[in-house]
Structure 1
Amino acid sequence: MLIDPGLPPDEQDDISAKVYGDGQELPPPSALTKKSSFAPWHHPIKQIVRDYQWGDAAVRLLSQSRAAERRDVLRYFTLPGADLLDVRQLATAIENFGSQIEYFGFNTGWTPDAADQTDGSGAYLSAESALRQAGRITDNSVVWPDSLEDIAQPNSTAADRLAQQSVFDIVNIDACDHLGYKSPGRHQTLFDAMESLLAHQLRATEPWLLFLTTRADPKLLGGPSVKLMAAIQKNLDAHPDGFGDALADCLGVNKAVLISELNAVWGSTDERFLKLFVLALGKHLLHFYFGQVNFKMTVELVSAFAYRVHGSEPDMVSVAFRITPGGLRIHPPAARPMVALHDIELVHAQSIAAKAKEMWNLETGIQQPQVATDAVSGTARLLEQANYDLEAWRLWLQNHATRPMTV
């Protein structure tokens, strides 16, 4: 910008300061107005998921990795909030590996050209800048203003953006809604988007993690419930004893009345339904990947957590699956078009059932002193990094409608 030399010096200085700044240093983050508006994921119970599930699983993934390049960059698919709390938590969890996170994700509330630093986009820019300056993320990390469901729409902008990405080490679908949810004006569901990500990951050659957080209510599942119920029934039909025993044990029911009990559980809202829901998810993943004859992958349920958001009983599940590629299968030209997979899948189905049985109810977990201490201190650390007013947060917790806490 050219400044008219004919203007008085004081006016020239005023214009120059408006355009280029007055030379004063920006105030430190502690001097900025602290945020005092809180959301459900600011409650310490969510920190148990971030720490005990996401963080622990990521550390084990890196510890057991054979690929040296994975230690340098962890590729991460995310649906981040403006404060990037999940990215901050993962960065802390894996800091001993010296790894950077390269994230890619979608957030419909993110506006790349926003200039107002008080909105969600401004918070994101601040969080991203802090992580980049600390060397926690790569310069290739990016969030796009698309809806997750759009990746299931062929030729959409979101689908094209995903297609240009290589595979991820961690896929985190941290959804507030149920799997049958459709964004306004869209025909694809969260479940469809999840399947698109499963297909994207077929190129993986190393184990990777799928984190999924979703509401679990039989009245809201819609179309996905048909696939989930079918996944259970197919295994029962193929292995009435081997899988039937594991299923009955998972649900704590008598195998002699398993079929009638299944129908009752599918329509209930108790903990048995949540376990069946988690098991059905695992079975669907097994069916999906064992159906890809040339891209065999095994599926392991790492952990399953449940907590309440909308009701008096847990209605939200958070699961972690570890998917291990078995390598590309090349069949000889004379191979018959038939592959037997039942025995292999049965072993993994039984394992998922046993793990689903151990689902952790975080409503009781957060009553444990050490768990509560870890959750509170971890949440406080993340909120302080994101410039929240911790005193206001403690007051918010004390008056929380669902799960009040005094910290």
Structure 2
Amino acid sequence: MDNGDELEVGLGYDDVTHGLVSLKTKFAPWHKPRKQYIRNKQWNFAASNLIEHLQLKKKDRALQYLSLPGSDLLDVRSLYTVCAAKEVRLKFIGLNEITAGDKEMTMDQLISINELHGLKYIDPSSDVYQDQLESLCVNKSIAQENIIKRASSYDVINIDLCRSMLESPPQDKQSNYYDALFKLLRHQADNRTEDWLFFVTTRTNQDMVHEGAFRKFVEGLEQIFDVDEAVYNKCCELEIFGKNTLAERRIDVDKIDAPSYNNLLSAGIGKWVLGALTGQPPAHKSKMLQLFGYNVLQGDNDSCDMMSFGFWCRHIPNKAKDAFGLAGAGVNLNAEDVTAAVGKARLAIIESVSKFINVDVDMANDEIFEEMLQASTSLMKSARYDVTSYVDWARADHGKVKTWLANRGIA
């Protein structure tokens, strides 16, 4: 369903009507087959389940999708195969920051949008706006006007960052990822009752994470340990922060190694998303899905430095009784208690962190690599890349990763 084969018909460069288009041969990190692994096994898999859960085909409603698609719109192209297979329209809204005067990237994005608009299951109101994610918090910005004010909510939000969402100091007065993501999460919670998906991909290597943000996560986890014994016991049992790092409900940061540091950030991000959605009504609980990670830097550090998070989010109805005492039945009195829901979600975060999948290790299996390469190649072909050059580039990188893993004794 999402292997990319459908892209070979009706979405390739042969259909472009802008004249002769040269095939592209410059490749970026997000073009690697391991990114297709994330698209297939995390983004598309969960989106497929959500489409069924929301009964979008039966309701004849488009899947509302918000992302940072880049000029190639690869994530949109990949998700389209899922929607087309289910005969559900896809309405995509994107943000893409393009440097002023970059005519090549601007034209590439326009061609990509035009290609997608020609497809049967693309909603014609789909579009990509040239602005940065951080501008969501800037009044009257392109991002705020087109992302927040024009849409009541989204079915899927996919924030795929090249940098770290944790790079700024806490409560920085400058526009940053914290404020933008918090605004998006609260926009969803305040305006939506149906289930929805939230994805965020971020760098987690220590030199790209602000020390103040790391300390906030440590403090936040310790506060949870003080009130939630089940979470503390689970962390001790699974040793996700390393051995002997937890004592009397406190984290000894001096004993945290690189993998434990990554796990602590992952748990902290999961808790932060959950807190943003449940901190005030209307509340939505967020169950962390399968967690994936891989290495951007192939150095001496065994820890993954890019993590891809997924959350299935669900509205928790407010319980209400008539303060005047006239109505006896009340409303939503059998609804799930927010405190209980938060406790379950916290445990799910710890379980997910403890079982995260290292994509590089999994794709060291040549069969898995070939499967993802085939799907990724179809996707790249649809975006007007030279297939022969791409396959050579991808195979060469695969060989380097396997050698690095072998030298580290990881795979």
Taking structure 1 as the reference length, the TM-score comes to 0.81
Q: What amino acid does structure 1 have at the position aligned with 2:290?
A: S
Alpha-carbon distance in 2 for matches of 1:377, 1:41: 16
Question: Per-residue displacement from partner, 1:175-201 (whole Å, max 9, x unpaired)?
Answer: 00011346xx98122122111110110
In structure 2, relative to structure 1, the CA distance for the partners of 1:334 and 1:291 (3 Å cut) is farther
From 255, 263, 268, give the equivalent of 1:280.
Answer: 268
Q: Which has the higher contact order (CA 8 A, sep 6+)?
A: 2
From 348, 361, 378, give the equivalent of 2:375.
Answer: 378
Kept in 1, the 8 Å contact 2:73–2:112? The answer is yes
Partner of 1:19: none
Alpha-carbon distance in 2 for matches of 1:403, 1:331: 63
Kept in 1, the 8 Å contact 2:90–2:123? The answer is yes
Alpha-carbon distance in 1 for matches of 2:264, 2:16: 53
Structure 2 unaligned spans of 5+:
1-13, 326-336, 404-411
Partner of 1:192: 179
Partner of 1:365: 362
From 73, 80, 84, give the equivalent of 1:91.
Answer: 80
From 151, 169, 172, give the equivalent of 2:158.
Answer: 172
Q: What amino acid does structure 2 have at the position aligned with 1:297?
A: H
Kept in 1, the 8 Å contact 2:201–2:308? The answer is yes
Task: List aligned pairs for 1:147-296, cutoff 5 A.
Answer: 147-161=132-146, 162-181=148-167, 187-202=174-189, 203-222=191-210, 223-239=212-228, 241-252=229-240, 253=242, 257-258=246-247, 262-264=251-253, 268-270=257-259, 272-293=260-281, 295-296=282-283
Alpha-carbon distance in 1 for matches of 2:92, 2:16: 29
Higher gyration radius (CA): 1
Structure 1 unaligned spans of 5+:
1-24
Kept in 2, the 8 Å contact 1:227–1:284? The answer is no
The structural deviation recorded for 1:143 is 1.4
Task: List aligned pairs for 1:327-338, cutoff 5 A.
Answer: 327-330=317-320, 332-333=322-323
The structural deviation recorded for 1:242 is 0.8
In structure 2, relative to structure 1, the CA distance for the partners of 1:393 and 1:344 (3 Å cut) is closer
The answer to whether 1:41 aligns with 2:27 is no
Question: Per-residue displacement from partner, 1:250-305 (whole Å, max 9, x unpaired)?
Answer: 434457844698333896422x3222222221212222222213x12111111110
Alpha-carbon distance in 2 for matches of 1:392, 1:68: 39
Kept in 2, the 8 Å contact 1:300–1:322? The answer is yes
The answer to whether 1:317 aligns with 2:307 is yes
The structural deviation recorded for 1:322 is 0.6
Q: What amino acid does structure 1 have at the position aligned with 2:30?
A: W
From 118, 121, 137, give the equivalent of 2:122.
Answer: 137
Aligned-pair identity (%): 23
Taking structure 2 as the reference length, the TM-score comes to 0.80
Kept in 2, the 8 Å contact 1:76–1:102? The answer is yes
Partner of 2:6: none
The structural deviation recorded for 1:397 is 2.7
2:22 alignment partner, SS class: coil
In structure 2, relative to structure 1, the CA distance for the partners of 1:44 and 1:258 (3 Å cut) is farther
Question: Per-residue displacement from partner, 1:77-133 (whole Å, max 9, x unpaired)?
Answer: 11111110000000112322111211112111177xx895xx112111222122121
The answer to whether 1:392 aligns with 2:389 is yes
Kept in 2, the 8 Å contact 1:105–1:143? The answer is yes
In structure 2, relative to structure 1, the CA distance for the partners of 1:124 and 1:246 (3 Å cut) is same
Cα RMSD over matched residues? 3.3
Alpha-carbon distance in 2 for matches of 1:92, 1:31: 26
